[in-house]
Amino acid sequence: MHKEARVAHEASEARKPFYRILYVQVLIGLVLGVLTGHVWPEFGAALKPFGDGFVKLVKMMIAPIVFCTIVSGINSISDSREVGRTLVKSMALFYLLTVLALLAGLMAVSLIQPGAGMHVSVATLDPSVAAKFTKQAAASGFADFMLHIIPHSFFGAFADGEVLPVLLVSILIAFGLSRAGDEGVAVTKAVASFSHVLFVSFGFIMKLAPLGAFGAMAFTVGRYGVRSIGSLGLLILTFYIACSVFVVIVLGTLARLNGFSLWKTIRYFREELLIVLGTSSSEPALPGALRKLEQLGCRKGVSGLVLPMGYSFNLDGSAIYLTLASIFIAQACDIHLSWGQIASMLGLMLLTSKGAAGVTGSGFVALVATLSVMPDLPVTGVALLVGIDRFMSEARALTSMISNCVAAITVSLWENACDREVLARELGQSGALETAAGTSIGETTLGEDQSWIATTRSAA
């Protein structure tokens, strides 16, 4: 049934007009957004609610989708020790990638030196810009962050919509169901069925992705425009170069060592990446990425753990931003940092890059948190960056998204929880199936859904 449904789906995809394909529609939305924001700046800036509304709709679905994916996935793993191994390997990989991301940012800013020659006086910087983020940064220390993972109540985890508290609740419930015996079968089946309904509903929301991308891009160009780049254009270029080098060299090498192609992986997740580009947020791509990882042959119990964890512990785009922005401020203010001071700063950033996870504008908040405890750099230096931060947030989100997808596939392969034949076949077909709930996101292929539900129930 599953194979027949796939063949029928591929035939329907071949007949579908190009303008009905979601990633084409998102591309059109992005282009129209840029044009609208450039030609009619005030009108473009007023379109911000379209982008914000789409992101809020997706965030509304993230908590229950993560819960159902993790509960049904972990419950299908017979050996509970596999969960522990997955968590340890994931965290080890996340910290390795974070270190390499910090070094990538440091190398790029040291070689290109975008702040050299600016000769900015610290006394002329506006302290009110940093003050708005200082309190938020102080509340996002590592210890507070770890305590924040524990929700105030069971339903509080879902009410707040943050990934890590939902992850904690999901793991506890999954282990509870695995020990409940026959009494837990009904709950497991209900979770599997509810998960199917959620993904079909999410498919309807994704039909609004082109409108959301259009509104978000029109706002960015209309509100800030290319004129706001000005003399800081070299800094933006340096950041994009650093992100590109990290993706191509570090993530490309990681993918090659584990037997899959980075470029085919990027192409497979193209729709999710375009949505991230349009909204400057990786959260709208989480549900779709979870389903595509399953399509790639990754076991739900492993990929469903690694990807949500990566959203809080593997923010490589933000890590690159931290070192690059900090050294840029030092260059612009004519502050010389010794290698010892830089090494101390990197160690601090390993903590602040995680402590600010889940906070709105986490990259900027983590930067303020770092500078607040670094006596050698002025925290008021963030005033130099606030006007262009929006142009850098897209690269931060895209880099982190690509890194998390590659990490999820890698850990699944390490745990022998990914079918290499399926992985090679799916990547070769560049993501013909957009969700397990159907065809291009939002359309349903009945045979495939029935196969997926049957598989989930038999595993339970």
pLDDT at residue 102, rounded to an integer: 94
Domain ranges of the chain: 2-459
Are 363 and 318 a contacting pair, CB within 8 Å? yes
**Hey, is 388 helix, strand or coil?**
coil
| Type of residue at 243 | C
pLDDT bucket at 112, cuts 50 / 70 / 90: very high
The confidence score (pLDDT) of residue 362 equals 66
Query: How many CB atoms sit inside 10 A of residue 416's CB?
Result: 11
Looking at the predicted structure, is the pLDDT value of residue 227 above 80?
A: no
Question: Given 3-state DSSP classes, what are the helix, strand and coil percentages for the chain, each rounded to the nearest 5?
Answer: 80, 0, 20
Torsion of CA 326, 328, 334, 339, to 10 degrees: 60
What is the rounded distance in angstroms from the CA atom of residue 376 to the CA atom of residue 389?
Answer: 23
Q: Are 444 and 291 in contact (CB under 8 A)?
A: no
pLDDT of 317 > 70? The answer is yes
Q: Is 418 helix (H, G, I), strand (E, B) or coil?
A: strand
- 367-398: pLDDT as tens digits: 877 787 777 788 888 878 877 777 788 888 89
pTM for this predicted structure: 0.79
The span from the CA of 99 to the CA of 429, in Å, is 33
Residue 15, pLDDT score:
58
Q: Tens digits of per-residue pLDDT, 278-300?
A: 887 788 888 889 889 999 999 88
pLDDT reported for residue 252: 95
Q: How far apart are CA 74 and CA 88, in angstroms?
A: 16
Q: Is 79 exposed, middle or buried (0-12, 13-18, 19+ CB in 10 A)?
A: exposed
Indicate the Cα dihedral angle 220, 225, 228, 229, nearest 10°. Answer: 90
Phi, psi of 376 (to 5 degrees): -85, -20
Q: To the nearest 10°, report the CA torsion of 187, 301, 59, 34.
A: -150
Highest mean pLDDT among 132-141, 318-327, 442-451: 318-327
In this structure, CATH architecture of domain 2-459: Orthogonal Bundle (1.10)
pLDDT attached to residue 108: 94
What's the CA gap between 323 and 101, in Å, rounded? 9
- Amino acid letter, residue 40: W
pLDDT of residue 240: 93
Region for 337 from its dihedrals, namely left if φ exceeds 0, alpha if ψ lies in -120 to 50, beta otherwise: beta
Q: What pLDDT, on a 0 to 100 scale, did the predictor assign at position 438?
A: 39
Q: Give the whole-angstrom CA distance, residue 370 versus residue 373.
A: 6
pLDDT at 136 > cutoff 70: no
* Position 442 confidence tier, pLDDT thresholds 50, 70, 90: very low
